Amino acid sequence: MKTVWNITLKGTQIIGLLFLFVFSACSQPNAKKQKDMIFNKLTKEEEWVILHKGTERPFSGELLNNDEAGTYVCKQCDAPLYRSEDKFDARCGWPSFDDEIKGAVKRVSDADGRRTEIVCANCGGHLGHVFEGEGFTPKNTRHCVNSISMKFVPAETARNSTTEAAYFASGCFWGTEYHFMKAPGVCATIVGYMGGHTQNPSYREVCTGTTGHVETTEVLFDTAKTSYEELIKLYYETHDFTQVGGQGPDIGSQYQSVIFYVNDEQKAVAEKYIKILTDKGYKVATELRPAENNEFWDAEDYHQQYYEKKNGTPYCHTYRKIF
């Protein structure tokens, strides 16, 4: 845990993708309408805070002094919200974090305009408020969160989860993500850049075609609810895998069809379906590359869940049944 007395923070240690995204009910921020969600049963005290925007008494929350490694998830819907490495002691009486898991928290101005409320982006449950400019950490941000709004998942529990990662590139990542984020068993999706030689590239840099990256979607899925094979089918049924150096009207090496496999099992499944498609007469242009040698870099916030935010549909990714 960070403290306000040590402004120079230690480098974040990556525990692993599964650690960040495990939770008992698989859910994708903004992927479903709230009316269709199944929520956890809340106590009257939890309802007062989460549903009616109340505040628990300072220094009373059970997670205030928790310094274990793990993930903080929403009490109402189990969506992951914060990592333990982003928690610090602000001496304010409530758990404090200087960053959230990308796309997990939504900011809403209070009615009086004096403060900014934070809610779970997945279910809308009240978390607390966010403050900036206080100087507690180099990120200069403090998410002040009610303990009662969260549950804590220890890292060891997360490592034993059934969550697995997959990486797919099939042209503009807006359209790729659009289909995967709606697929059964998918827990979370993030769009980004993979396969290049530039560290932490920007969208503008990738679009020059000089960084070697392709627009890629990271898919976190629950193996108890779906399979990598089902994701591969969806991948091939939602883009033109015969096109080289582009996808539809988007031309450039950053739009190449690529599968980044994380293990030999994923590679074998991908090879199986490339053969099936080849036997059907398709000239498959999809490249297979190991994810281990290709770091994934998150894209800018405005690219995340793009069509969900714009209430639109992809212009070059349409579903057609093949298998």
Whether 190 shows a pLDDT value over 90: the answer reads no
Residue 10: pLDDT band with limits 50, 70, 90: very low
Mean pLDDT of 142-163: 83
Domain with CATH 3.30.1060.10 in the chain: 162-310
Whether 174 shows a pLDDT value over 90: the answer reads yes
pLDDT confidence of residue 159? 55
Residue 157: pLDDT band with limits 50, 70, 90: low
pLDDT in tens, 233-291: 999 999 999 999 999 999 999 999 999 999 999 999 999 999 999 999 999 999 999 99
Higher pLDDT, 2 or 65: 65
Domain with CATH 2.170.150.20 in the chain: 2-157
Residue 141: pLDDT band with limits 50, 70, 90: very high
Mean pLDDT of 299-321: 88
pLDDT in tens, 105-130: 999 998 888 899 999 998 999 999 99
Most confident of 3-7, 151-155, 205-209, 222-226: 205-209
Higher pLDDT, 58 or 225: 58
Q: Which CATH class is domain 2-157?
A: mainly beta
Residue 160: pLDDT band with limits 50, 70, 90: low
pLDDT confidence of residue 156? 67
Whether 1 shows a pLDDT value over 70: the answer reads no
% of the chain with per-residue pLDDT over 90: 66
Whether 298 shows a pLDDT value over 70: the answer reads yes
Residue 222: pLDDT band with limits 50, 70, 90: confident
For the chain, the average pLDDT equals 86
Torsions phi, psi for 80 (to 5 deg): -70, 135
pLDDT in tens, 24-33: 444 444 444 4
pTM: 0.59
pLDDT confidence of residue 50? 97
Catalytic annotation, residues: 144, 172
CA 39-44-50 angle, to 5 degrees, is: 55
Beta-strand relationship, 186-194 and 296-298 = antiparallel
Q: Which CATH class is domain 162-310?
A: alpha beta
